[in-house]
A = this chain, B = another copy of it.
Amino acid sequence: MALIVQKFGGSSVADAEGIKRVAARIAETKRAGHDVVVIVSAMGDTTDDLIDLANEITRTPPAREMDILLTAGERISMALLAMAVNDLGVEAHAYTGRQAGLMTDDRYGKASILGVVPERILRTIQSNAVAIVAGFQGVNVHNDVTTLGRGGSDTTAVAFAAALHADVCEIYTDVDGVFSADPRIVPAARQLKIMTYEETLELAAHGAKVLHLRAVEFARKFGVAIHVRSSFSHQEGTWIVSDHLSEQKAMEAPVIAGVAHDRSQAKISVSGVPDIPGAASKIFATVSAVDGNIDMIVQNTSISNPGRSTISFTVPQEQLTEVVDALEAKKEEIGFVSIRISEQIGILSVVGAGMRSHTGVSAKLFETLASLGLNIDIISTSEIRISVVLPPESLDEAARAVHTAFGLDADTEAIVYGGTGR
């Protein structure tokens, strides 16, 4: 008998039929003899509909009231799901974040979890019932409801799995698990059986739609085993575990776990920067002052223009205007000559814990890209990742070629479903 935390996203509970299907899965797990704690998101588009309603009322909703509004979504889905599970003859009780004991700070809309005091959840489990908990929400010291922001429901699930010392945190989605690449671009993508927290973090941070970074970081911190799987089938999905466990379980795993692509970044090149100490730091201080989120950086010293260099870096597209404006405002102080921007760039990343012990990964990557006639613009690396900036129109072709070159291609094509909900 295990203690299992199951998290179901908005697309899994989008309508009465979906709620009943999820309830059947929960009842089945409970009947198999396990203790079950369920985290559920709002139904389908409920949260977006509520945001639209707020926008009809005001352009500047107070953050506290916005969180009160948005948490109505999980309130509805958790109540309906509890009803559906009870209807199958399995006792289940629904709890808000507050009732379940999820304590947060008071940053409405993006609250951080301070702790979980799952007293009622433990009592529910001990009475042999299923606990259904609203994802995405908690309570602050003022006794007011807060929302956790992006990835909040996944993070809620991992937090409860950690607090309850659960055996596994199952994240249900509408795909079979995590893939070695986006199957819509790389049809030969294979489902990964196991991956490390670090691999998952690197893939998620570089464009792969896996789990939210925040949930994975939480899982790594508390050693929560995550199982990403489909709510439509019973087959094994993808396990996300510690490096240590991963190696034990998959001695023969490929060096590269997966290939991620990202089209959401823009590039800013600041040229004619005086080649003196402190010039670069002035640029990055300026970007940082407007919360610009820099991913990759490269500095080139120009031969034709000695004493001056070009500093290029990437930022999310939605921050482009603000960052450029901030830099232009400090043009004289920094002393650069001009700014050039690429509104969209492509970033291709290969990620794998095996890189630590295997050499030749970068050589094979550059060789593959060269064979496609692609120029690499910027390169950045971590211990288990290599990322390169490419022309966005070549990104798909490059992803397929690299995927093949690293021996990741599956024998059959992956089946592609829709989105994955919050």
A50 interface residue per 8 A CB criterion: yes
CA distance A78 to B143 in the complex (A): 17
Name the B residues within 8 Å of A333 (CB-CB). Answer: none
Kindly report which residue of chain B lies nearest to residue A87, judged by CB atoms. B58
Give the residues in chain B near A57, CB-CB below 8 Å: 16, 19-20, 80, 83-84, 87
Q: Is A65 an interface residue (CB 8 A)?
A: yes
Q: Contacts of A285 on B, CB cut-off 8 Å? A: none
Interface of chain A residues 59 through 105 with chain B (CB within 8 A): 60-62, 64-66, 68-69, 71-72, 75-76, 78-80, 82-84, 86-87, 93-94, 96, 99
How many copies of this chain are found per oligomer?
2
The answer to the question of A53 belonging to the interface, with a C-beta cut-off of 8 Å to chain B, is: yes
| A144 located at the interface, meaning its Cβ lies under 8 Å from any Cβ of chain B in the complex | yes
Question: Nearest chain B CB to A71's CB is how many angstroms away?
Answer: 7
Tell me, rounded to whole Å, the shortest Cβ–Cβ distance linking A406 to chain B: 47
Interface residue tally for chain A (C-beta within 8 Å): 35
Q: Mark A305-320, 1 if CB is under 8 A from B, else 0.
A: 0000000000000000
B53–A66 CB distance below 8 A: no
Determine if B71 and A86 form an interchain contact, defined as CB atoms under 8 angstroms apart. Answer: no
Q: Chain A binding site: helix, strand, loop or mixed by DSSP?
A: helix
**Cross-interface CB contact of A68 among B65, B69, B79, B86, cutoff 8 Å:** B79
Tell me whether A76 and B72 are in contact in the complex, defined as CB-CB below 8 angstroms, given that A16-B53, A57-B16 are known contacts: yes
- A61 surroundings in chain B (CB, below 8 A): 83, 86
Instruction: Flag whether A332 is at the interface (Cβ < 8 A).
Output: no
Residues of B within 8 A of A72 (CB): 72, 75-76, 79
Given contacts A72-B72, A143-B99, contact A83 B58 (CB under 8 A): yes
Let me know if B64 and A76 touch, CB within 8 A: no
Which of A53, A57, A94 has most chain B Cβ within 10 Å? Answer: A57
User: Is A411 an interface residue, CB under 8 A from the partner?
Assistant: no
Partner of A64, one of B50, B87, B93: B93
A68 adjacent to B62 (CB under 8 Å) = no
Q: Does the CB pair B93–A65 fall under 8 Å? A: yes
Binary contact readout A14-32 vs B (1 if CB under 8 angstroms, 0 otherwise): 0010011000000000000
Q: Is the CB of B82 within 8 A of A62?
A: yes
With a CB–CB cut-off of 8 A, which chain B residues contact A87? Answer: 57-58, 60
A61–B94 Cα gap in the complex (Å)?
12
Measured between C-beta atoms, what is the minimum distance from A94 to chain B in Å? 5
- Which 5 residue pairs of A and B lie closest in terms of their CB atoms, listed nearest first? A69-B79, A16-B56, A58-B87, A68-B79, A72-B72
A-B contact pairs, 25 of them (CB 8 A): A16-B53, A16-B56, A19-B57, A53-B76, A54-B83, A57-B83, A57-B87, A58-B84, A58-B86, A60-B86, A62-B82, A62-B83, A65-B79, A65-B83, A65-B86, A65-B93, A66-B79, A66-B83, A68-B79, A68-B96, A69-B76, A69-B80, A71-B75, A72-B75, A99-B143
